[in-house]
Chain A
């Protein structure tokens, strides 16, 4: 299977550089080349005893948390709106919410820096958070998109026909259906914000975020502590993503379970369209191997 081998190569190309950095972040000597001299945690000790690093890490966590809360509120309300609004208005909302994805980050950064100066918003962690929400909202909406398209409004109507108030039907019907995707998307936003540099460079004030600190280190020197700093950032992103994946999975399992216990005959609606057909039509196509 040529394609299979190709996929492994592809994955190797993606992961090799990351593994190399991970390996050298545990190197006991300052050299960044083989032969490998042995493991030590000295670079991690060094980086965590650096107050600039801990402050930036903390700033990044604050900004990422605030940005994911803000984006989740905006993104969830817009998702609910897109369920209720049809036609041209919906298309307009969707378009406005997805345009920033197609623009270079540089462009968003410079339009915001001019705007903040004009409106009189100072550059601080607040302006960074606003920029991150703007950057992440399109990703949030894109993640929610399939949920929105396949949301069955008759479920809400049924709840109301059975005497639920608007609020009750939202709390007991709509929210449980959307919750897994909302949680998944908000975790994604955290990771995006935690790693964002291109826009942050323009809108940040004196408080640096972790990527900005690592970047300024890189511009100055080649220093083994950069490896450790980068790995800390990566590890934190991974933990958050894993956590999000776990929550998502547990939520879905709970949802499926509760549904089965009520012995609903309907199949669980697939998050990934196509998985169900794909499982049955996986077979080689002649002439492609």
Chain B
């Protein structure tokens, strides 16, 4: 039997896709399924008993400590995401509409490759008790005692996380704004819209996807981070991410850690829903009310 060219192409495509699909199945999908199963097991003195029960979940949901650390993690995530998106937007806007070259973008992306730890360490050096800020302020005679609260606080965590997430948020916003062609903006201007109106009725709805993904990415990465809070957050800065990581590193209660991780993921989903709903309520989400796009404007 002879196959047609298209069939042969498809077959070849299937063969070509198989190694990576096998890899993803074996090292991503199956591990995730195992993690789900594991969250319903029990660990007794380092031996895992695989009988199904929901104790890990009830225990976690009933623990005040879990909610407290979750709140810290979510605050880190929210502040970081809001700051990253809001503060990166003007920079992205400038790069897309005001410059003809990509040099600024390359410079910003280059900073992304400065090691994660270099930045954590840099902020620790700057904010520390004997760090740059304190010593400079003392030399200028503004303060007589070093200020302690700036280091080992949620503020230090957020500042560092913002610094880490900036290039990421910017890249997503730039690629979103690239799709908002100036013709649309000019058309709105020609029809008499003010700058603010153009911004809220054209630019934001049309780059909506990019804004949501930039917000969610930075939120998830910041809220799930456990290294920055550990090095900079201090005692009040313990996040659920750190709590989960400790279940796997030192405490050794894997099932409990797995249950915590799924509850956290579930809460992340909640944040996503709240955020998109909020944008809809504020009339910033795309919909038929504003314009018809040929590329699937969804009725929200």
Residues of chain B lying within 8 A (CB to CB) of residue A214: 115, 117, 121
CB-CB under 8 A from B67, the residues of chain A are none
Please state if A211 and B117 are interface contacts (CB–CB under 8 Å). Answer: yes
| A54 within 8 A of partner (CB) | no
A14 to B123 CA separation, bound complex (whole angstroms): 12
Cβ distance B92 to chain A, nearest Cβ, rounded Å: 10
Query: CB of A63 within 8 A of chain B?
Result: no
Interface size for B (C-beta < 8 A) is 95
A147, chain B: closest CB distance, angstroms: 15
Interface flags, B170-195, vs A, CB<8A=1, else 0: 00000000100110010001000011
Q: Mark B191-206, 1 if CB is under 8 A from A, else 0.
A: 0001110110000000
Contact of B111 with A14 in the complex, beta carbons under 8 Å: yes
Within 8 A of B (CB), among A1-52: 1, 3-4, 6-7, 10-11, 13-15, 17-18, 20-21, 24, 32-34
Contact yes or no, B27 A115, CB < 8 A: yes
Q: Is the CB of B111 within 8 A of A21?
A: no
Residue numbers in B under 8 Å from A274 (CB-CB): 178
A17 touches B131 (CB 8 A): no
Kindly state the separation between the CA atoms of A278 and B88 in the bound complex, as whole angstroms.
Answer: 20
Contacts A195-B115, A273-B178 given; indicate if A20 touches B125 (C-beta within 8 A). yes
Say whether, besides A85-B17, A102-B220, A226 and B121 are in contact (CB < 8 Å).
yes
Identity of the chain B residue whose Cβ is nearest the Cβ of A195 in the assembled complex: B115
Residues of A within 8 A of B277 (CB): none
Query: By the criterion CB–CB under 8 Å, are B20 and A284 in contact?
Result: no
> Contacting chain B: which of A104-112, A175-183, A259-267?
A104-112
| Residues of chain B from 1 to 17 with CB closer than 8 A to chain A in the complex | 5, 9-10, 12-17
Residues in B whose Cβ lies below 8 Å from that of A32: 125, 128, 130-132
B224 at the binding interface (Cβ < 8 Å): yes
Given that A78-B20, A107-B261, A110-B244 are known contacts, is A134 also in contact with B220, CB under 8 Å in the complex?
A: no
* Residue in contact with B119 in the complex, picked from A17, A80, A281, CB distance below 8 Å: A17
- Can you list, as one digit per residue, whether each of A115-147 has a CB less than 8 Å from chain B (1) or not (0)? 100100000000000110110010000000000
In the complex, the answer to whether A227 meets B115 with C-beta atoms within 8 Å is: no
Of the candidates A111, A157, A286, the one whose C-beta lies within 8 Å of that of B34 is A111
Number of contact residues on A: which range applies?
35 or more
Chain B residues with Cβ below 8 Å from A137 are 20, 23-24
B136 within 8 A of A: yes
When C-beta atoms are compared, the residue in chain A nearest to B132 turns out to be: A33
**Are B17 and A11 within 8 A (Cβ)?**
no
A residues neighboring B (CB under 8 Å): 1, 3-4, 6-7, 10-11, 13-15, 17-18, 20-21, 24, 32-34, 73-75, 77-78, 80-85, 93, 96-97, 99-115, 118, 130-131, 133-134, 137, 157, 166, 191, 195, 197-198, 201-202, 211, 214-215, 218-219, 222, 226-227, 230-231, 233-234, 237-238, 241, 272-275, 277-279, 281-282, 284-288
Taking A77-B19, A214-B117 as known contacts, 4 extra A-B pairs with beta carbons closer than 8 A to each other, sorted by chain A number, are A18-B119, A77-B17, A110-B35, A287-B198
The 9 closest A-B pairs by CB, nearest first: A287-B195, A104-B224, A84-B13, A17-B122, A81-B17, A115-B31, A81-B16, A111-B31, A85-B13
Can you offer 28 A-B residue contacts whose CB atoms are under 8 A?
Answer: A3-B90, A3-B94, A7-B91, A13-B163, A17-B163, A21-B118, A32-B131, A33-B130, A81-B13, A81-B15, A81-B20, A100-B28, A104-B224, A106-B225, A110-B244, A111-B31, A111-B35, A114-B35, A130-B27, A137-B24, A201-B249, A218-B124, A218-B231, A222-B124, A234-B118, A277-B182, A285-B185, A285-B195
